[in-house]
Structure 1
Amino acid sequence: MNKVISGVWPLLLGIFLIMLGNGMHFTLMGLRGGIEEFSAAELAIVTSGYFIGFLSGARLTPLMIRRVGHVRVFAALGSFMSAGLIAFPLLAEPWAWTLLRILIGFCMSGIYVAAESWLNDAATNESRGTVLSTYMIAQTLGIIGAQGLLTLGDAGTSVLFIGASILVSISFAPILLSVAPAPVVTVARPMGLLKLFSSSPLGTVGIFLLGSVYATQAGMGAVFGSQIGLTAGQIALFVAMLFAGALAMQYPIGWLSDKMDRRRLIFGASCAGAVASLMGWIAGDGLWSLMAIAFFAGGVTTPLYALFLAHTNDFLSVEDMPAASGGLIFTFGLGAIAGPLVTGWAMEVFGPYAFWPVLGLTFASIALYALYRMKQRSSVPVEQTERYIGVLPTASPVAVEAAGVWAAEHAEAEREAEAEFKGDEQTR
């Protein structure tokens, strides 16, 4: 493993630094927005702007890279993102922030495509699972670490925005100065939504609803904390707990995923998220109760994303997986755009604590639909399912496609090895 990581450490370091800057800016929107007295509805539009840009970038960046190359696209997007971060305190208006968030979302999506293309090209078939898992851990640690950096400055000044911009700027040095050659970017055209739904209704509906959950947690969590009177440090800890839970629960849920009907696990994880959200509504502003609840509510969200990808792949051929991955990412993005808008409206009408009922109802909808699908379709035998690999909702189509193909190939190799072993046993 050490040999594998030693070959890609510049990319991992660069991604870690990027996530420090991007993670800071996500929470800063809620902190500074509260100081500027933006309403929950206005900040919801700002939050959705990021995912509009992210969805656009995932579609357009591969075309840009094929025209002018990895390095130019990577450097240009990094420059725009760094400039956008500095511009937030200079243009403290909701409409300006929405445009800046669209820009930053577009840039981040393009950065992911470029970085993950390098990462995928540097990995071999044997090491790809390890490399992708380490990459996802680096991303999550960057987001968690970013929350700690927020306690070092005042959100009412430009200091933290400048710090986030600096982190993003220096993050490109280890990547662009590495000797890795620029790979060819190949991203499959996303599968149409109707075809995707016919192949996996639960995967399609579930990942749309999960997009709403993820964007609400990541984008509106800081808004919720600001509106109920938490301090900046407490808000940063609240957001950190959402992602710490995801890091802690990814492995056990992934282990269970390869041992049982994934629909049952999706049902159970969604029920856990719904219960945690209900407890958040009941707990009010009890600090440590909120932190524990955030840990569990966030802890099931990211693993559910990988579960939906794996569940969908169980019903597809290896050839169809790349296109289906693109369709699922697009569907997730639509949910991520809609989720904050619904949550912002609810918080505006019913107060900040509406944050939890919206999350709870969305989790409950996933659970009920999973239960319904269990009655409509027989399960795939566990020994015929594809392997689970932890993929984050922030991943681009490059990483998702690579993870899907790796999981399918790894599962097929295991089945062949098991069949060969049984054949040897019978001949003895």
Structure 2
Amino acid sequence: MASVIKIYALFLGSALLMFGGGLQGLLLSVRGAEENFSLLALGLIGTGWSVGFVAGSITVPLVVRKVGHIRAFSVMAAIGTITILLNLLLINDISWILLRALSGFCFAGAAMIVESWLNEVVDNRNRGTIFSVYVTINMAASTLGQVAMSITGVTGFLPFVIGAISFICAVLPTAMTSSPQPRPLASAKLDIRLLYKTSPVAAIAAFSVGMANGSFGTLAPVYGYRQGLDASGIALLFALTALLGATAQIPFGRLSDKIDRRLVLIGLSSAAAVIGALTVLINPGDGWIMYVLFAAYGFCANPIYAVAVAHANDFARDGDFAKIAGGMLLILGIGLALGPVVSSMIMNAYHPVGLFIVTAAFHGALAVAAFLRMRVRASVDAADRAPFQPMGNDKQNTPESLALDPRGETDDIADVDDIDLDAAIKDGDV
């Protein structure tokens, strides 16, 4: 019974974290556009988040080793709360770029600590179920955070305060726990060479998804604002996109268990490229066509990364899941950081609809790469594949997410009690 209560408390902490993150991410893009920030500045706000998130994923395990889980989580939640309140007090582009990087760092650390605690109370019998529930709760909470903007609006102090309350409340489940501290945080082994050797398509997919979805997540709210949507309209637009994207993971994932996963990647990325091209050609206003195109984009683009991770795992040796998925996280993070900057420049040159030139180009490139690789390498037999596993938001996966993933339960994920962290960093293992 105690374990069940602990799991639900951790789910609640994670949900509060994701609710605040979903609200803050959408809020800053729309409020920044309303404050007449340049497109480049808005893109750099998205880049700041990704750089901070990757930095947090790599360095927070060292912080936790020194001060412990509860103190580290409290620090992350407190700084995250202060950061969103400073977004309200310092409304200028340079401050927001720097604060967004700090926010990404804190968010990565807090998420990893929650996931570490959750990892401590699951076992291999229920790991798959717990992981699926965890992913579902995170997606739902993040979407609700975006929907909340339709109620709070983007002007005034209310949305920032609501986000701050959500972040600080996320500390309660861990602060009130009487259980022993969990094991040290997992450190991703970022072996990009192993990833590319194992699956070039997966490496290309990680970068393409980062470029396309990083651009979309940061700058599509700006596009909606420029098209005349108000806060409620933009919140509904993104909630619909997220909902359709989450729903699509299961059917396409199950399909990829039965046929060559690269065929699924080709189909999804080609469809996403066509949707991007149609958006450029039609350049819809604020009517129903925009909602249809965005929903279709989410439906096609969201499952790509999870299918790519599954494809890489099909060719991985036993025990290499963490290394390969960790490498994909790093490549994804690079794409998430670069995408908003590149897209902001294209949008300056070709008006806001230029955003979809970028998404169409990178999804199209992935489709071509997957097709060419099919001519070089045969697929793994369906009977020999690990079942597809849905994954959370591309921008919110951490090394601890990989440790919780049931596909990594036999992996030798780096344990900070068993390695010299300073030497590991020098060798590039963390």
TM-score (structure 1 length as normaliser): 0.91
Instruction: Give the whole-Å Cα distance in 2 for the aligned partners of 1:170 and 1:357.
Output: 40
Look up the equivalent residue of 2:140 and give its one-letter code. L
Q: By how many angstroms is 1:299 displaced?
A: 2.2
SS at structure 1 position matched to 2:116: helix
Q: By how many angstroms is 1:336 displaced?
A: 0.4
Instruction: Give the whole-Å Cα distance in 2 for the aligned partners of 1:139 and 1:23.
Output: 10
Structure-2 residue corresponding to 1:44: 43
Instruction: Give the whole-Å Cα distance in 2 for the aligned partners of 1:99 and 1:368.
Output: 37
Q: By how many angstroms is 1:5 displaced?
A: 6.0
Moved more, 274-283 or 218-227: 274-283
Moved more, 182-191 or 94-103: 182-191
- Decide whether aligned partners of structure 1 residues 201 and 408 sit closer, same or farther in structure 2, where only a CA change above 3 A counts: farther
- Decide whether aligned partners of structure 1 residues 404 and 316 sit closer, same or farther in structure 2, where only a CA change above 3 A counts: farther
Moved more, 348-357 or 286-295: 286-295
Q: By how many angstroms is 1:267 displaced?
A: 0.7
Moved more, 394-403 or 39-48: 394-403
Instruction: Give the whole-Å Cα distance in 1 for the aligned partners of 2:153 and 2:6.
Output: 38
In the TM superposition, what whole-angstrom CA distance separates every residue of 1:298-350 from its partner, at most 9, and x where no partner exists?
22333211111111111111222211121111110001001111111111111
Q: By how many angstroms is 1:406 displaced?
A: 4.8
Runs of 4+ in structure 1 off by over 4 angstroms are 2-7, 406-409
Does the CA-based 8 Å contact 1:15-1:139 persist in structure 2?
yes
- Decide whether aligned partners of structure 1 residues 286 and 33 sit closer, same or farther in structure 2, where only a CA change above 3 A counts: closer
Look up the equivalent residue of 2:246 and give its one-letter code. L
- Decide whether aligned partners of structure 1 residues 402 and 152 sit closer, same or farther in structure 2, where only a CA change above 3 A counts: closer
Counterparts of residues 122-141 of structure 1 (less than 5 Å): 122-141=121-140
Instruction: Give the whole-Å Cα distance in 1 for the aligned partners of 2:141 and 2:186.
Output: 26
Instruction: Give the whole-Å Cα distance in 2 for the aligned partners of 1:364 and 1:5.
Output: 45
Structure-1 residue corresponding to 2:327: 327
Does the CA-based 8 Å contact 1:387-1:407 persist in structure 2?
no
- Decide whether aligned partners of structure 1 residues 408 and 113 sit closer, same or farther in structure 2, where only a CA change above 3 A counts: same
Instruction: Give the whole-Å Cα distance in 2 for the aligned partners of 1:7 and 1:388.
Output: 27
Structure-2 residue corresponding to 1:315: 315
Instruction: Give the whole-Å Cα distance in 2 for the aligned partners of 1:202 and 1:35.
Output: 39
Choose the corresponding residue for 2:401, options 377, 399, 402.
399
Does the CA-based 8 Å contact 1:313-1:404 persist in structure 2?
no
1 or 2, which has the higher helix percentage?
Answer: 1
Structure-2 residue corresponding to 1:422: none
Instruction: Give the whole-Å Cα distance in 2 for the aligned partners of 1:401 and 1:304.
Output: 21
SS at structure 1 position matched to 2:405: helix
Structure-2 residue corresponding to 1:291: 291
Look up the equivalent residue of 1:334 and give its one-letter code. I
In the TM superposition, what whole-angstrom CA distance separates every residue of 1:205-228 from its partner, at most 9, and x where no partner exists?
111111112212221121111122
SS at structure 1 position matched to 2:184: coil
Counterparts of residues 11-410 of structure 1 (less than 5 Å): 11-281=10-280, 282-392=282-392, 393=394, 394-403=396-405, 405-406=407-408
Look up the equivalent residue of 1:118 and give its one-letter code. W
Query: Over aligned residues, Cα RMSD in angstroms?
Result: 1.9
Moved more, 72-81 or 34-43: 34-43
Does the CA-based 8 Å contact 1:10-1:178 persist in structure 2?
no
Q: By how many angstroms is 1:260 displaced?
A: 1.1
Structure-1 residue corresponding to 2:426: none
Instruction: Give the whole-Å Cα distance in 2 for the aligned partners of 1:385 and 1:229.
Output: 47
- Decide whether aligned partners of structure 1 residues 292 and 176 sit closer, same or farther in structure 2, where only a CA change above 3 A counts: farther
Q: By how many angstroms is 1:354 displaced?
A: 0.9
Instruction: Give the whole-Å Cα distance in 1 for the aligned partners of 2:89 and 2:58.
Output: 30
Structure-2 residue corresponding to 1:425: none
Instruction: Give the whole-Å Cα distance in 1 for the aligned partners of 2:3 and 2:257.
Output: 25
Does the CA-based 8 Å contact 1:310-1:404 persist in structure 2?
no
Does the CA-based 8 Å contact 2:273-2:359 persist in structure 1?
yes
Instruction: Give the whole-Å Cα distance in 2 for the aligned partners of 1:224 and 1:344.
Output: 11
Q: By how many angstroms is 1:279 displaced?
A: 2.9
Instruction: Give the whole-Å Cα distance in 2 for the aligned partners of 1:250 and 1:5.
Output: 27
Instruction: Give the whole-Å Cα distance in 2 for the aligned partners of 1:364 and 1:3.
Output: 50
> How many residues align structurally?
408
Does the CA-based 8 Å contact 1:120-1:399 persist in structure 2?
no
Does the CA-based 8 Å contact 1:77-1:111 persist in structure 2?
yes
Does the CA-based 8 Å contact 1:284-1:353 persist in structure 2?
no
- Decide whether aligned partners of structure 1 residues 86 and 263 sit closer, same or farther in structure 2, where only a CA change above 3 A counts: same
Instruction: Give the whole-Å Cα distance in 1 for the aligned partners of 2:408 and 2:188.
Output: 19
SS at structure 1 position matched to 2:303: helix
Does the CA-based 8 Å contact 1:210-1:305 persist in structure 2?
yes
Instruction: Give the whole-Å Cα distance in 1 for the aligned partners of 2:250 and 2:208.
Output: 22
Instruction: Give the whole-Å Cα distance in 1 for the aligned partners of 2:125 and 2:279.
Output: 43
SS at structure 2 position matched to 1:276: helix
- The answer for unaligned runs of 5 or more in structure 2 is 412-430
Does the CA-based 8 Å contact 2:56-2:106 persist in structure 1?
yes
- Decide whether aligned partners of structure 1 residues 382 and 314 sit closer, same or farther in structure 2, where only a CA change above 3 A counts: same
- The answer for unaligned runs of 5 or more in structure 1 is 410-428
Q: By how many angstroms is 1:4 displaced?
A: 8.2
SS at structure 1 position matched to 2:375: helix
Instruction: Give the whole-Å Cα distance in 2 for the aligned partners of 1:81 and 1:87.
Output: 10
Look up the equivalent residue of 2:25 and give its one-letter code. F
Instruction: Give the whole-Å Cα distance in 1 for the aligned partners of 2:178 and 2:245.
Output: 33
State the percentage of identical aligned residues. Answer: 28
Instruction: Give the whole-Å Cα distance in 2 for the aligned partners of 1:60 and 1:170.
Output: 24
- Decide whether aligned partners of structure 1 residues 370 and 317 sit closer, same or farther in structure 2, where only a CA change above 3 A counts: same
Look up the equivalent residue of 1:114 and give its one-letter code. I
Q: By how many angstroms is 1:351 displaced?
A: 0.4
Instruction: Give the whole-Å Cα distance in 2 for the aligned partners of 1:318 and 1:56.
Output: 28
Instruction: Give the whole-Å Cα distance in 1 for the aligned partners of 2:114 and 2:299.
Output: 26
Moved more, 87-96 or 174-183: 174-183
Moved more, 114-123 or 214-223: 214-223
Moved more, 238-247 or 150-159: 150-159
Q: By how many angstroms is 1:286 displaced?
A: 4.4
In the TM superposition, what whole-angstrom CA distance separates every residue of 1:218-254 from its partner, at most 9, and x where no partner exists?
2112111112221111111111122111221111112
- Decide whether aligned partners of structure 1 residues 108 and 21 sit closer, same or farther in structure 2, where only a CA change above 3 A counts: same
In the TM superposition, what whole-angstrom CA distance separates every residue of 1:252-275 from its partner, at most 9, and x where no partner exists?
112112111111111111112112
Structure-2 residue corresponding to 1:423: none
SS at structure 2 position matched to 1:319: coil
